[in-house]
Amino acid sequence: MGEFVVNGAQIKCSQGIPGKAVLIVLPTARVTAGDMPVATVMDFKPMANIPTFGMCNSSQNPTVIAATSAASGVHTPAPCVPSPMKQWSPGSAKTSVGNMPALTKDSTCTCMWGGSITIDSEGQQKASVG
């Protein structure tokens, strides 16, 4: 298992343009690592935990389909509104936070429109000595 994923972790969506965002972890579980709230697999709510990734490029997204149709068939991205289908997976098999598996860097979340949401960095600040 890697380090805990915390508030401020960098996440990305395979269908987003530019596709990067910052995970928002509310301090409800009162468990911290490096003074930041630790994420669980349940931190997948659109806009509350997973903000917009800018524009959506997925040809499965109805807003992209409509924008493409309005542009006479020229593929046209539309504003991203994340639509995660279910919680992050797999999460930690050994560590839980508030009775939920802690979120780990290898966890992913799938958007309803075909995007794969992954974790780029855990969000913890690393310190070095000397």
| E strand or H helix at 12 | strand 10-13
Q: How confident is the model at residue 11, as a pLDDT?
A: 98
Contacts of residue 86, Cβ cutoff 8 Å, sequence gap at least 6? 44, 109, 110
Count CB atoms within 10 A of the CB of residue 34.
16
How far is it, in rounded angstroms, from Cα 19 to Cα 65?
Answer: 19
pTM (2 decimals)?
Answer: 0.91
Closest CA to 7 of 30, 31, 29, 39: 39
Which residue bears the tokens 């509104």? 81
How far is it, in rounded angstroms, from Cα 129 to Cα 111?
Answer: 40
For 19-53, write each residue's pLDDT tens digit.
999 999 998 877 888 889 999 999 999 999 999 99
